[in-house]
Structure 1
Amino acid sequence: MTDDTMAFLHQLRERGGEDLLKDLAEAVLQKLMDFDVDNLIGAGRYERSDGRTTQRNGYRSPRGLDRAMMQKLIQGDWIDAHDNLALVGPTGVGKSWIASALGHKACRDNRSVLYQRVPRLFEELALARGDGRHARLLRSLGRADLLVLDDWGLEPLDAAARHDLLEILEERYGRKSTLVTSQLPVDRWHEIVGDPTYADAIMDRLVHNAHRIELTGESLRRARAKSAITS
Protein backbone atom coordinates (compact mmCIF):
# COMPACT_ATOMS: atom_id res chain seq x y z
CA MET A 1 0.00 0.00 0.00
CA THR A 2 1.47 3.37 -1.03
CA ASP A 3 1.92 6.41 1.21
CA ASP A 4 -0.71 8.24 -0.88
CA THR A 5 -3.21 5.46 -0.25
CA MET A 6 -2.50 5.49 3.48
CA ALA A 7 -2.93 9.27 3.58
CA PHE A 8 -6.23 9.00 1.72
CA LEU A 9 -7.55 6.38 4.16
CA HIS A 10 -6.61 8.55 7.14
CA GLN A 11 -8.40 11.55 5.58
CA LEU A 12 -11.43 9.42 4.79
CA ARG A 13 -11.72 8.40 8.44
CA GLU A 14 -11.18 11.93 9.76
CA ARG A 15 -13.52 13.72 7.34
CA GLY A 16 -16.40 11.27 7.50
CA GLY A 17 -15.95 10.13 3.94
CA GLU A 18 -18.58 11.96 1.89
CA ASP A 19 -16.51 14.87 0.58
CA LEU A 20 -13.45 12.72 0.10
CA LEU A 21 -15.36 10.13 -1.86
CA LYS A 22 -16.35 12.90 -4.24
CA ASP A 23 -12.71 13.94 -4.44
CA LEU A 24 -11.75 10.35 -5.16
CA ALA A 25 -14.29 10.06 -7.96
CA GLU A 26 -12.95 13.24 -9.53
CA ALA A 27 -9.37 12.01 -9.18
CA VAL A 28 -10.17 8.65 -10.76
CA LEU A 29 -12.00 10.29 -13.65
CA GLN A 30 -9.12 12.70 -14.17
CA LYS A 31 -6.65 9.81 -14.17
CA LEU A 32 -8.69 7.91 -16.71
CA MET A 33 -8.96 10.89 -18.99
CA ASP A 34 -5.44 12.30 -18.79
CA PHE A 35 -4.41 10.66 -22.04
CA ASP A 36 -1.09 11.77 -23.45
CA VAL A 37 -1.65 12.28 -27.17
CA ASP A 38 1.86 11.09 -27.91
CA ASN A 39 1.09 7.79 -26.21
CA LEU A 40 -2.21 7.44 -28.03
CA ILE A 41 -0.46 7.54 -31.40
CA GLY A 42 2.48 5.42 -30.30
CA ALA A 43 5.06 8.18 -29.99
CA GLY A 44 6.28 7.29 -26.55
CA ARG A 45 5.62 4.94 -23.68
CA TYR A 46 2.31 3.18 -24.20
CA GLU A 47 0.58 2.08 -21.04
CA ARG A 48 -2.79 0.52 -20.49
CA SER A 49 -3.99 -1.30 -17.41
CA ASP A 50 -7.39 -2.96 -17.29
CA GLY A 51 -6.70 -5.62 -14.71
CA ARG A 52 -5.14 -7.87 -17.31
CA THR A 53 -2.58 -5.92 -19.30
CA THR A 54 0.11 -3.37 -18.64
CA GLN A 55 2.58 -2.32 -21.31
CA ARG A 56 5.62 -0.11 -20.87
CA ASN A 57 7.84 -1.29 -23.66
CA GLY A 58 8.60 2.01 -25.37
CA TYR A 59 6.90 0.63 -28.48
CA ARG A 60 6.75 3.12 -31.29
CA SER A 61 5.19 2.61 -34.69
CA PRO A 62 3.63 4.73 -37.41
CA ARG A 63 -0.09 4.34 -36.89
CA GLY A 64 -1.66 6.46 -39.62
CA LEU A 65 -2.86 8.93 -36.99
CA ASP A 66 -0.84 12.06 -36.35
CA ARG A 67 -0.82 14.27 -33.29
CA ALA A 68 -2.93 17.03 -34.86
CA MET A 69 -5.65 14.58 -35.88
CA MET A 70 -5.71 12.97 -32.43
CA GLN A 71 -6.05 16.37 -30.77
CA LYS A 72 -8.92 17.24 -33.10
CA LEU A 73 -10.74 14.01 -32.29
CA ILE A 74 -10.22 14.43 -28.55
CA GLN A 75 -11.77 17.92 -28.68
CA GLY A 76 -15.00 16.28 -29.81
CA ASP A 77 -16.14 18.81 -32.39
CA TRP A 78 -16.99 15.92 -34.70
CA ILE A 79 -19.48 14.68 -32.10
CA ASP A 80 -21.07 18.12 -31.83
CA ALA A 81 -21.39 18.12 -35.63
CA HIS A 82 -23.03 14.65 -35.51
CA ASP A 83 -20.32 13.20 -37.74
CA ASN A 84 -19.26 9.57 -37.64
CA LEU A 85 -15.78 8.07 -37.31
CA ALA A 86 -14.39 4.89 -38.88
CA LEU A 87 -11.19 3.43 -37.39
CA VAL A 88 -9.89 0.60 -39.56
CA GLY A 89 -6.73 -1.48 -39.51
CA PRO A 90 -5.35 -4.92 -38.72
CA THR A 91 -5.83 -6.56 -35.36
CA GLY A 92 -3.82 -5.26 -32.44
CA VAL A 93 -2.93 -1.79 -33.75
CA GLY A 94 -4.98 0.05 -31.14
CA LYS A 95 -8.39 0.66 -32.73
CA SER A 96 -10.41 -0.39 -29.70
CA TRP A 97 -8.08 1.42 -27.32
CA ILE A 98 -8.37 4.70 -29.23
CA ALA A 99 -12.15 4.26 -29.46
CA SER A 100 -12.25 3.70 -25.70
CA ALA A 101 -10.13 6.79 -25.09
CA LEU A 102 -12.42 8.94 -27.22
CA GLY A 103 -15.46 7.48 -25.48
CA HIS A 104 -14.05 8.26 -22.04
CA LYS A 105 -13.26 11.82 -23.14
CA ALA A 106 -16.80 12.25 -24.46
CA CYS A 107 -18.14 11.09 -21.08
CA ARG A 108 -15.93 13.60 -19.34
CA ASP A 109 -17.39 16.30 -21.57
CA ASN A 110 -20.89 15.36 -20.38
CA ARG A 111 -21.85 13.49 -23.52
CA SER A 112 -23.73 10.22 -23.27
CA VAL A 113 -21.75 7.28 -24.64
CA LEU A 114 -22.75 3.68 -25.32
CA TYR A 115 -20.18 1.00 -26.18
CA GLN A 116 -21.12 -2.23 -27.95
CA ARG A 117 -19.11 -5.05 -29.50
CA VAL A 118 -20.97 -5.69 -32.73
CA PRO A 119 -21.21 -9.51 -32.46
CA ARG A 120 -22.55 -9.24 -28.92
CA LEU A 121 -24.92 -6.42 -29.88
CA PHE A 122 -26.70 -8.50 -32.50
CA GLU A 123 -26.93 -11.43 -30.09
CA GLU A 124 -28.53 -9.14 -27.52
CA LEU A 125 -30.95 -7.70 -30.08
CA ALA A 126 -31.99 -11.21 -31.12
CA LEU A 127 -32.68 -12.13 -27.49
CA ALA A 128 -34.53 -8.85 -26.92
CA ARG A 129 -36.78 -9.56 -29.88
CA GLY A 130 -38.06 -12.62 -28.06
CA ASP A 131 -38.57 -11.17 -24.58
CA GLY A 132 -40.20 -7.83 -25.33
CA ARG A 133 -37.14 -5.59 -24.88
CA HIS A 134 -36.37 -5.09 -28.56
CA ALA A 135 -38.01 -1.70 -29.12
CA ARG A 136 -36.62 -0.33 -25.86
CA LEU A 137 -33.10 -1.49 -26.73
CA LEU A 138 -33.29 0.09 -30.17
CA ARG A 139 -34.38 3.38 -28.61
CA SER A 140 -31.45 3.35 -26.18
CA LEU A 141 -29.03 2.74 -29.06
CA GLY A 142 -30.51 5.67 -30.92
CA ARG A 143 -30.30 8.15 -28.03
CA ALA A 144 -26.61 8.11 -27.05
CA ASP A 145 -24.59 11.11 -28.19
CA LEU A 146 -21.82 8.69 -29.18
CA LEU A 147 -22.37 5.04 -30.04
CA VAL A 148 -19.18 2.97 -30.29
CA LEU A 149 -19.55 -0.14 -32.46
CA ASP A 150 -16.40 -2.19 -31.89
CA ASP A 151 -15.28 -5.13 -34.06
CA TRP A 152 -17.59 -4.44 -36.97
CA GLY A 153 -17.28 -6.89 -39.85
CA LEU A 154 -16.13 -10.04 -38.07
CA GLU A 155 -18.98 -12.00 -39.66
CA PRO A 156 -21.70 -11.34 -42.27
CA LEU A 157 -25.04 -9.97 -41.11
CA ASP A 158 -28.21 -12.00 -41.26
CA ALA A 159 -31.56 -10.49 -42.25
CA ALA A 160 -32.53 -9.51 -38.69
CA ALA A 161 -29.15 -7.88 -38.01
CA ARG A 162 -29.34 -5.91 -41.27
CA HIS A 163 -32.78 -4.61 -40.37
CA ASP A 164 -31.76 -3.69 -36.82
CA LEU A 165 -28.60 -1.91 -37.92
CA LEU A 166 -30.48 0.15 -40.49
CA GLU A 167 -33.06 1.13 -37.87
CA ILE A 168 -30.31 2.22 -35.47
CA LEU A 169 -28.42 4.24 -38.07
CA GLU A 170 -31.58 5.81 -39.47
CA GLU A 171 -32.44 7.09 -36.00
CA ARG A 172 -28.92 8.42 -35.45
CA TYR A 173 -28.06 9.91 -38.84
CA GLY A 174 -27.58 13.66 -38.64
CA ARG A 175 -28.58 13.67 -34.95
CA LYS A 176 -25.90 11.63 -33.15
CA SER A 177 -22.41 10.28 -33.81
CA THR A 178 -21.33 6.69 -34.38
CA LEU A 179 -17.77 5.39 -34.06
CA VAL A 180 -16.97 2.11 -35.81
CA THR A 181 -13.82 -0.01 -35.52
CA SER A 182 -13.10 -2.72 -38.06
CA GLN A 183 -10.31 -4.89 -39.38
CA LEU A 184 -11.84 -4.56 -42.85
CA PRO A 185 -11.29 -1.54 -45.11
CA VAL A 186 -14.41 0.51 -45.72
CA ASP A 187 -14.68 -0.63 -49.34
CA ARG A 188 -15.38 -4.19 -48.10
CA TRP A 189 -18.19 -3.27 -45.72
CA HIS A 190 -20.85 -3.81 -48.39
CA GLU A 191 -20.08 -7.52 -48.53
CA ILE A 192 -20.51 -7.83 -44.75
CA VAL A 193 -24.02 -6.39 -44.95
CA GLY A 194 -24.87 -8.80 -47.76
CA ASP A 195 -28.11 -7.58 -49.29
CA PRO A 196 -27.24 -4.83 -51.83
CA THR A 197 -30.26 -2.67 -51.04
CA TYR A 198 -29.62 -2.77 -47.30
CA ALA A 199 -25.89 -2.32 -47.87
CA ASP A 200 -26.42 0.90 -49.84
CA ALA A 201 -28.79 2.30 -47.21
CA ILE A 202 -26.56 1.35 -44.27
CA MET A 203 -23.34 2.61 -45.85
CA ASP A 204 -25.00 5.89 -46.83
CA ARG A 205 -25.93 6.56 -43.21
CA LEU A 206 -22.71 5.23 -41.71
CA VAL A 207 -19.97 6.36 -44.08
CA HIS A 208 -21.36 9.41 -45.89
CA ASN A 209 -20.47 11.81 -43.06
CA ALA A 210 -17.67 9.75 -41.50
CA HIS A 211 -14.08 10.72 -40.83
CA ARG A 212 -12.01 7.74 -41.99
CA ILE A 213 -8.73 6.77 -40.33
CA GLU A 214 -6.67 3.76 -41.38
CA LEU A 215 -4.30 2.63 -38.64
CA THR A 216 -1.15 0.73 -39.54
CA GLY A 217 1.85 -0.80 -37.86
CA GLU A 218 2.74 -3.92 -35.95
CA SER A 219 0.28 -5.41 -33.47
CA LEU A 220 0.80 -4.02 -29.98
CA ARG A 221 0.15 -7.50 -28.63
CA ARG A 222 2.83 -8.98 -30.88
CA ALA A 223 5.26 -6.22 -29.94
CA ARG A 224 4.59 -6.88 -26.26
CA ALA A 225 5.25 -10.58 -26.75
CA LYS A 226 8.55 -9.84 -28.49
CA SER A 227 9.52 -7.47 -25.71
CA ALA A 228 8.75 -10.13 -23.10
CA ILE A 229 10.91 -12.67 -24.93
CA THR A 230 13.89 -10.33 -25.27
CA SER A 231 13.68 -8.81 -21.79
Structure 2
Amino acid sequence: MRMFTFLEKHNNEASIQMMLRLSKLPLKSSNTFENFDFSQVHGKNVSQLEGLQSLSPLYSHKNVALIGPAGTGKTHIAMAYGYECCQHKLKTYFIKMSELNDMFTQARAYGRSGRVISNLVKPSCLIIDEVGHCVFERENIRMFFDLVDRRYNKEGPYTMIFTSNKQPSQWKQNFNEDDSLLCALDRIFDDALIFNLRGNSYRGKECESYSLTTLRGKATNAELPSAR
Protein backbone atom coordinates (compact mmCIF):
# COMPACT_ATOMS: atom_id res chain seq x y z
CA MET A 1 0.00 0.00 0.00
CA ARG A 2 2.84 2.36 0.89
CA MET A 3 4.58 1.58 -2.39
CA PHE A 4 1.38 2.31 -4.32
CA THR A 5 0.97 5.63 -2.49
CA PHE A 6 4.61 6.52 -3.16
CA LEU A 7 4.32 5.74 -6.88
CA GLU A 8 1.07 7.68 -7.15
CA LYS A 9 2.66 10.71 -5.50
CA HIS A 10 5.77 10.41 -7.67
CA ASN A 11 3.73 10.19 -10.88
CA ASN A 12 1.61 13.14 -9.80
CA GLU A 13 4.69 15.29 -9.14
CA ALA A 14 6.24 14.23 -12.46
CA SER A 15 3.06 15.19 -14.28
CA ILE A 16 2.99 18.62 -12.64
CA GLN A 17 6.66 19.25 -13.44
CA MET A 18 6.03 18.32 -17.08
CA MET A 19 3.10 20.77 -17.18
CA LEU A 20 5.33 23.51 -15.78
CA ARG A 21 8.08 22.85 -18.34
CA LEU A 22 5.65 22.91 -21.25
CA SER A 23 4.02 26.10 -19.96
CA LYS A 24 7.18 28.18 -20.57
CA LEU A 25 6.61 29.84 -17.19
CA PRO A 26 9.92 30.96 -15.62
CA LEU A 27 10.85 28.14 -13.24
CA LYS A 28 13.93 29.64 -11.58
CA SER A 29 11.88 32.32 -9.80
CA SER A 30 8.39 30.90 -9.53
CA ASN A 31 5.72 33.55 -9.05
CA THR A 32 2.88 32.00 -7.09
CA PHE A 33 -0.15 33.23 -5.19
CA GLU A 34 1.60 32.15 -2.00
CA ASN A 35 4.50 34.56 -2.51
CA PHE A 36 2.36 37.48 -3.73
CA ASP A 37 1.82 40.06 -0.98
CA PHE A 38 -1.93 40.67 -1.07
CA SER A 39 -1.58 42.87 2.04
CA GLN A 40 -0.08 45.54 -0.24
CA VAL A 41 -3.25 45.62 -2.36
CA HIS A 42 -6.12 47.80 -1.16
CA GLY A 43 -9.62 48.45 -2.43
CA LYS A 44 -13.14 47.11 -2.15
CA ASN A 45 -12.51 44.46 -4.82
CA VAL A 46 -9.39 42.85 -3.34
CA SER A 47 -11.39 39.70 -2.64
CA GLN A 48 -12.09 39.40 -6.38
CA LEU A 49 -8.34 39.44 -7.06
CA GLU A 50 -7.66 36.91 -4.32
CA GLY A 51 -10.46 34.78 -5.73
CA LEU A 52 -8.40 34.09 -8.85
CA GLN A 53 -6.67 31.40 -6.81
CA SER A 54 -9.77 29.22 -7.19
CA LEU A 55 -9.30 29.26 -10.99
CA SER A 56 -12.97 30.23 -11.31
CA PRO A 57 -12.47 32.27 -14.54
CA LEU A 58 -11.15 29.14 -16.25
CA TYR A 59 -14.14 27.02 -15.30
CA SER A 60 -16.62 29.80 -16.11
CA HIS A 61 -14.94 30.57 -19.46
CA LYS A 62 -14.02 34.14 -18.48
CA ASN A 63 -10.93 35.95 -19.72
CA VAL A 64 -8.87 38.11 -17.36
CA ALA A 65 -7.10 41.42 -18.04
CA LEU A 66 -4.61 42.80 -15.53
CA ILE A 67 -4.03 46.48 -16.28
CA GLY A 68 -1.61 48.86 -14.56
CA PRO A 69 1.80 50.55 -14.56
CA ALA A 70 5.06 48.63 -14.33
CA GLY A 71 5.78 46.87 -11.07
CA THR A 72 2.24 46.65 -9.70
CA GLY A 73 2.13 42.86 -9.81
CA LYS A 74 0.34 42.18 -13.10
CA THR A 75 2.77 39.62 -14.46
CA HIS A 76 3.27 38.03 -11.04
CA ILE A 77 -0.48 37.41 -10.72
CA ALA A 78 -0.74 36.13 -14.29
CA MET A 79 2.15 33.72 -13.73
CA ALA A 80 0.68 32.65 -10.40
CA TYR A 81 -2.57 31.79 -12.17
CA GLY A 82 -0.67 29.73 -14.71
CA TYR A 83 1.32 28.01 -11.97
CA GLU A 84 -1.90 27.10 -10.17
CA CYS A 85 -3.34 25.68 -13.39
CA CYS A 86 -0.28 23.45 -13.76
CA GLN A 87 -0.75 22.25 -10.18
CA HIS A 88 -4.21 21.10 -11.25
CA LYS A 89 -2.71 19.44 -14.37
CA LEU A 90 -4.34 21.93 -16.70
CA LYS A 91 -2.28 22.71 -19.79
CA THR A 92 -0.93 26.26 -19.66
CA TYR A 93 1.17 28.40 -21.97
CA PHE A 94 2.88 31.73 -21.20
CA ILE A 95 4.12 34.07 -23.93
CA LYS A 96 4.92 37.76 -24.26
CA MET A 97 3.00 39.70 -26.90
CA SER A 98 6.23 40.55 -28.75
CA GLU A 99 7.12 36.84 -28.87
CA LEU A 100 3.64 36.04 -30.17
CA ASN A 101 4.11 38.60 -32.93
CA ASP A 102 7.45 37.02 -33.91
CA MET A 103 5.90 33.54 -33.74
CA PHE A 104 3.13 34.59 -36.13
CA THR A 105 5.60 36.21 -38.54
CA GLN A 106 7.77 33.08 -38.67
CA ALA A 107 4.71 30.85 -39.01
CA ARG A 108 3.56 32.79 -42.07
CA ALA A 109 7.05 32.71 -43.58
CA TYR A 110 7.26 28.91 -43.29
CA GLY A 111 3.61 28.11 -44.06
CA ARG A 112 2.82 26.91 -40.55
CA SER A 113 0.13 29.41 -39.55
CA GLY A 114 -2.57 26.81 -39.03
CA ARG A 115 -0.36 24.54 -36.94
CA VAL A 116 0.84 27.39 -34.72
CA ILE A 117 -2.68 28.63 -34.05
CA SER A 118 -3.89 25.09 -33.31
CA ASN A 119 -1.10 24.67 -30.75
CA LEU A 120 -2.11 27.92 -29.05
CA VAL A 121 -5.76 26.90 -28.95
CA LYS A 122 -4.99 23.68 -27.03
CA PRO A 123 -3.94 25.06 -23.60
CA SER A 124 -6.70 25.53 -21.05
CA CYS A 125 -4.92 28.69 -19.89
CA LEU A 126 -3.16 30.96 -22.39
CA ILE A 127 -1.28 33.88 -20.82
CA ILE A 128 -0.26 36.80 -23.05
CA ASP A 129 2.04 39.22 -21.23
CA GLU A 130 2.79 42.88 -22.03
CA VAL A 131 0.08 43.68 -24.57
CA GLY A 132 0.95 47.00 -26.17
CA HIS A 133 4.75 46.61 -26.15
CA CYS A 134 5.02 45.96 -29.88
CA VAL A 135 3.28 46.85 -33.13
CA PHE A 136 1.45 44.02 -34.88
CA GLU A 137 1.50 43.66 -38.66
CA ARG A 138 -1.87 43.46 -40.42
CA GLU A 139 -1.44 39.78 -41.34
CA ASN A 140 -0.53 38.93 -37.76
CA ILE A 141 -3.64 40.71 -36.48
CA ARG A 142 -5.75 38.36 -38.56
CA MET A 143 -3.92 35.38 -37.07
CA PHE A 144 -4.53 36.86 -33.63
CA PHE A 145 -8.25 37.10 -34.39
CA ASP A 146 -8.28 33.50 -35.61
CA LEU A 147 -6.64 32.42 -32.36
CA VAL A 148 -9.09 34.37 -30.19
CA ASP A 149 -12.09 33.23 -32.23
CA ARG A 150 -11.17 29.56 -31.95
CA ARG A 151 -10.56 29.83 -28.23
CA TYR A 152 -13.85 31.70 -27.87
CA ASN A 153 -15.64 28.63 -29.23
CA LYS A 154 -13.43 26.14 -27.38
CA GLU A 155 -15.08 23.44 -25.27
CA GLY A 156 -14.02 22.52 -21.75
CA PRO A 157 -12.28 24.77 -19.19
CA TYR A 158 -10.39 27.64 -20.78
CA THR A 159 -9.30 31.21 -20.19
CA MET A 160 -6.96 33.84 -21.61
CA ILE A 161 -4.98 36.07 -19.24
CA PHE A 162 -3.67 39.41 -20.52
CA THR A 163 -1.36 41.92 -18.85
CA SER A 164 -0.85 45.46 -20.10
CA ASN A 165 0.05 48.94 -18.94
CA LYS A 166 -2.60 50.28 -21.30
CA GLN A 167 -6.37 50.22 -21.05
CA PRO A 168 -8.03 47.85 -23.55
CA SER A 169 -9.45 50.87 -25.39
CA GLN A 170 -5.83 51.86 -26.20
CA TRP A 171 -4.65 48.48 -27.45
CA LYS A 172 -5.56 49.34 -31.03
CA GLN A 173 -2.72 51.89 -31.02
CA ASN A 174 -0.24 49.01 -31.32
CA PHE A 175 -2.08 47.24 -34.12
CA ASN A 176 -2.27 48.38 -37.71
CA GLU A 177 -5.92 49.31 -38.24
CA ASP A 178 -7.92 46.24 -39.10
CA ASP A 179 -11.50 45.17 -38.39
CA SER A 180 -10.09 41.84 -37.23
CA LEU A 181 -8.74 43.51 -34.09
CA LEU A 182 -12.13 44.94 -33.14
CA CYS A 183 -13.70 41.52 -33.62
CA ALA A 184 -10.98 39.93 -31.49
CA LEU A 185 -11.47 42.48 -28.68
CA ASP A 186 -15.24 41.89 -28.78
CA ARG A 187 -14.65 38.20 -28.13
CA ILE A 188 -11.95 38.73 -25.51
CA PHE A 189 -14.11 41.08 -23.43
CA ASP A 190 -17.48 39.50 -24.15
CA ASP A 191 -17.24 37.91 -20.69
CA ALA A 192 -14.14 39.01 -18.83
CA LEU A 193 -12.74 40.24 -15.54
CA ILE A 194 -10.69 43.44 -15.75
CA PHE A 195 -8.47 44.41 -12.84
CA ASN A 196 -7.01 47.93 -12.81
CA LEU A 197 -3.96 47.94 -10.56
CA ARG A 198 -2.76 51.34 -9.44
CA GLY A 199 0.00 52.41 -7.10
CA ASN A 200 3.74 52.39 -6.62
CA SER A 201 5.96 49.68 -8.02
CA TYR A 202 6.70 46.61 -5.89
CA ARG A 203 10.12 46.42 -7.49
CA GLY A 204 12.93 47.75 -5.38
CA LYS A 205 10.94 47.70 -2.14
CA GLU A 206 13.78 45.71 -0.58
CA CYS A 207 16.32 48.41 -1.49
CA GLU A 208 17.69 51.17 0.68
CA SER A 209 19.06 54.44 -0.66
CA TYR A 210 22.18 55.98 0.84
CA SER A 211 23.58 59.43 0.15
CA LEU A 212 27.38 59.29 0.09
CA THR A 213 29.95 62.04 -0.23
CA THR A 214 32.95 61.33 -2.44
CA LEU A 215 36.37 62.87 -2.00
CA ARG A 216 35.51 65.42 -4.67
CA GLY A 217 32.47 66.52 -2.71
CA LYS A 218 29.89 65.18 -5.14
CA ALA A 219 26.81 63.35 -3.84
CA THR A 220 26.16 59.86 -5.15
CA ASN A 221 23.09 57.69 -4.64
CA ALA A 222 23.74 53.98 -4.27
CA GLU A 223 20.90 51.49 -4.10
CA LEU A 224 21.84 48.47 -2.09
CA PRO A 225 19.71 45.40 -1.34
CA SER A 226 18.77 45.31 2.32
CA ALA A 227 19.77 42.28 4.36
CA ARG A 228 17.11 39.67 4.94
Q: TM-score range by the shorter chain?
A: 0.7 to 0.9
Which amino acid is the alignment partner of residue 36 of structure 2? L
What is the distance in 1 between the residues matched to 2:79 and 2:225? 30
**Inter-CA distance 208–229: structure 2 relative to 1 (3 Å threshold):** same
Structure ranking higher in strand proportion: 2
Shift of residue 218 of structure 1? Answer: 1.3
Deviations 1:169-206 (A, max 9, x none): 01011433111000111221232233152232121011
| Cα displacement (A) at 1:41 | 4.3
Distance of 2:161 and 2:126 partners within structure 1: 6
CA contact (8 A) 2:33 2:81 kept: no
Query: Identity over aligned residues, as a percent?
Result: 22
Separation in structure 2 between the aligned mates of residue 99 and residue 133 of structure 1, nearest angstrom:
28
1:89 aligns with 2:68: yes
The answer for the alignment partner of 1:58 in structure 2 is none
C-alpha offsets along residues 63-120 of structure 1, whole Å, 9 cap, x if unaligned?
6685522332111121011110000100111111110000011111221111111101
| AA matched with 1:167 | D
Paired residue secondary structure (2:205): helix
Q: TM-score, normalised by structure 1?
A: 0.72
Separation in 1, partners of 2:108, 2:164: 26
Count of aligned positions: 193
| Structure in which a larger fraction of residues adopt helix | 1
How many angstroms does 1:230 deviate by?
A: 7.8
Q: Map residues 100-115 of structure 1 onto 2, 5 A cutoff.
A: 100-115=79-94
Q: Could you tell me which amino acid in structure 2 is paired with residue 218 of structure 1?
A: N
Tell me, yes or no, if structure 1 residue 79 matches structure 2 residue 58: yes
Aligned to 2:10: 22
Question: Residue 192 of structure 2: which of 177, 187, 210 is its match?
Answer: 210
Distance 1:124 1:199, change over 3 A: closer
Q: How does 1:8-157 map to 2 (within 5 A)?
A: 22=10, 25=13, 35-36=33-34, 39-43=35-39, 61-62=40-41, 67-157=46-136
Q: TM-score, normalised by structure 2?
A: 0.73
- Distance in 2 (CA, whole Å) between partners of 1:67 and 1:21 is 34
User: 2:167 is matched with which residue?
Assistant: 185
In structure 1, runs of 5+ residues without a counterpart are 1-14, 44-60
Structure 1 pair 131–190 and aligned structure 2 pair: CA distance change class (3 A)? closer
Aligned ranges for residues 164-175 of structure 1 at < 5 Å?
164-175=143-154
Q: CA deviation at 1:156?
A: 2.5
2:203 partner SS: helix
Q: Is the 8 A contact 1:63 1:217 kept in 2?
A: no
Query: Retained in 2: the 8 A contact 1:152–1:181?
Result: yes
Structural RMSD (CA): 3.0
Q: Flag the 1:100–1:33 CA change in 2: closer, same or farther, 3 A.
A: closer
2:131–2:162 Cα contact (<8 Å) kept:
yes
Q: Secondary structure at the match of 1:115?
A: strand
Q: CA separation in 1, counterparts of 2:44 and 2:80? A: 14
The change in CA–CA distance for 1:111 and 1:229 in structure 2 (over 3 A counts) is same
Tell me the secondary structure at the aligned position of residue 151 of structure 1.
strand
- The aligned residue for residue 180 of structure 2 is 198
